[in-house]
Amino acid sequence: ALVSLRQVLDQAAEHSYGVPAFNVNNLEQIQAILQAAQACQSPVILQASAGARSYAGEPFLRKMIEAAVEMYPDLPIVMHQDHGASPAVCMQSIRSGFSSVMMDGSLLADAKTPASYEYNVDVTRRVAEMAHAVGVSVEGELGCLGSLESGMAGEEDGVGAEGQLTHEQMLTDPQQAVDFVAKTGVDALAIAIGTSHGAYKFTRKPTGDILAIERIAEIHRALPNTHLVMHGASSVPQEWLAIVREFGGDMPETYGVPVEEIQRGIQFGVRKINIDTDIRLAMTGALRRAMSQDRREFDPRKFLKAATQAARDICEARFQAFGCAGMA
Ligand code: G3H
Ligand code: 13P
Ligand code: NA
Ligand code: ZN
C-alpha cells in the first residue's frame, strides 16, 4: 500500500534500522527494487528527482509507481519527491499523489547556489504547512552536501552547489538543526556530513577525517525525534566499477561511502539512506557486459533483464545490510 515517509521511518526508529531510498527513472529500476523488496519483505521508498520527472514524464512515473503499489499490495511503499527546488515544485508533486516530498532549501531554486539559513527556514516551513494539511511527509535539508576531501558538491548535471564549499558549509551544525526543526516542523532532516552526490566522492576509501559519521550522533542526541537522512550514500561497488572498465567503460578510480560506515550511521540515528549512483553503476556494468558477451543478440529485453538483475542484487544487499529486511 502507498504510505507516508513518516509511517515508514517511525517504525524504523522504533526498531533502530535504516531504509534505503532508491531513485527511480524507468520501469526496470522500479521492477528491480520491488522484486528485491518482495524477496526481503522490506518497506520501500521510491524517490523521483526533477531529472527523473523530465526523463520519464510525470504521468509515466506516477503510473509506474501506482502499478508497483497494485502489484505488491502487502508492501509499504513511499512515493517520495527527491530534492524539490521550490515550494511550487513540491505542490505539484503533492497534487500528483506523492506521499512525501523533500524541500531542499539548502540551495536556491536554481539548485546550485547555497541559500541563507533564513531562506531555507522560510521555504521549508511553507511546504511543511501545505504538505501536513493533506497527510504528506516532508524532508528538509540543512547544510550543503559536499565531499570533505575535495570540497566539491560532486554532481555536474543535477542537484548540487556550484564551486568550492567551505568546511563549515559541509557539516550540519547540531544547534542550528534543533532551531530548524522547531521552526519548520519537518518529519525528516537531511544532514551534511561529508558525502556528495554521484560516483566521484572520494579518491581513496574514506576514513574518519573525510567522513564525519560521529557528527550524526551529535545531531541525533540534540534531535532524538527527527528522522535523519543520509544523501550521497552510494558505496560505488568496486566490482561493478571493474566490470564497467573491463567492457569498454572509461571511469577513473573512485570510492563511495562504505556500507559499514552507513551501518554506523544507522546506529547513530540515520533512518533514510539515499542511493542512486549504485543502481546506475550496476545497470551500466551489466548492460556493457551483456551486450559485449552476446553480440548476436538484438532484443533489448535480454540486456535489460541483466541490468534489472544487477540492480536487484544491489537492492537486496542494502535491505539486508540496513536491517529493514523482514520489516514490511
Ligand atoms: O540528487 C541527485 C540524484 O542522484 C538524482 O540525480 O538529477 O540526475 O536525476 P538526477
Ligand atoms: P548517490 O549519488 O550517492 O547515489 O546519492 C543519491 C542521492 O542522495 C539522491 O538524493
Ligand atoms: Na530526498
Ligand atoms: Zn540527494
The yes-or-no verdict on residue 163 having pLDDT over 90 is no
Residue ranges per structural domain of the chain: 5-322
The yes-or-no verdict on residue 157 having pLDDT over 70 is no
Distance 243 CA to ligand 4 centre (A): 26
Ligand nearest to the CA of 25: 1
Q: What does the mean pLDDT of the chain come to? A: 96
Set of cell numbers at residue 147? 565531499
Atom of ligand 1 nearest to the CA of 82: 1
The amino acid that residue 38 corresponds to is Q
Residue 315 burial (10 A CB sphere; 0-12, 13-18, 19+): buried
CA distances from 168 to 171, 182, 189 (A): 6, 22, 18
d(CA 10, CA 172): 22
- What is the model's pLDDT at position 168? 87
- What is the model's pLDDT at position 58? 93
Ligand nearest to the CA of 229: 3
Give the pairing of strands 44-48 and 19-23.
parallel
- What is the model's pLDDT at position 207? 84
Which residues are within 8 A (CB) of 13 and not within 5 positions of it... i.e. 6 or more apart? 227, 271
Percent of the chain with pLDDT over 70: 99
Per residue in 49-94, pLDDT (tens digit) is 999 999 999 999 999 999 999 999 999 999 999 999 999 999 999 9
Confidence of residue 158 (pLDDT cuts 50, 70, 90): low
Out of 82, 173, 276, 278, the active site residue is 82
Mean pLDDT of 262-274: 97
- What is the model's pLDDT at position 156? 59
Distance 297 CA to ligand 1 centre (A): 31
- What is the model's pLDDT at position 295? 96
3 state SS for 214-234:
HHHHHHHHHCCCCEEEECCCC
ipTM passes above 0.90: yes
User: CA torsion angle for 263, 267, 271, 275 (degrees, to 10)?
Assistant: -20
Mean pLDDT of 312-324: 98
Please tell me what DSSP assigns to residue 325.
T
Candidate from 23, 272, 273 with most ligand 1 atoms within 8 A of CB, to mutate: 23
Per residue in 15-31, pLDDT (tens digit) is 999 999 999 999 999 99
d(CA 274, CA 96): 22
The yes-or-no verdict on residue 155 having pLDDT over 80 is no
CA angle 136, 138, 139 (to 5 degrees): 150
Distance 233 CA to ligand 3 centre (A): 12
Nearest CA to ligand 1 atom 8: 158
Mean pLDDT of 215-241: 97
d(CA 273, CA 213): 13
d(CA 113, CA 106): 9
Candidate from 5, 22, 23 with most ligand 2 atoms within 8 A of CB, to mutate: 23
Mean pLDDT of 22-48: 98
Neighbours of 206 (CB within 10 A): 21
Residue 196 burial (10 A CB sphere; 0-12, 13-18, 19+): buried
Confidence of residue 160 (pLDDT cuts 50, 70, 90): confident
- Determine the CATH number of domain 5-322: 3.20.20.70
Q: Is 157 a catalytic residue?
A: no
Mean pLDDT of 176-183: 98
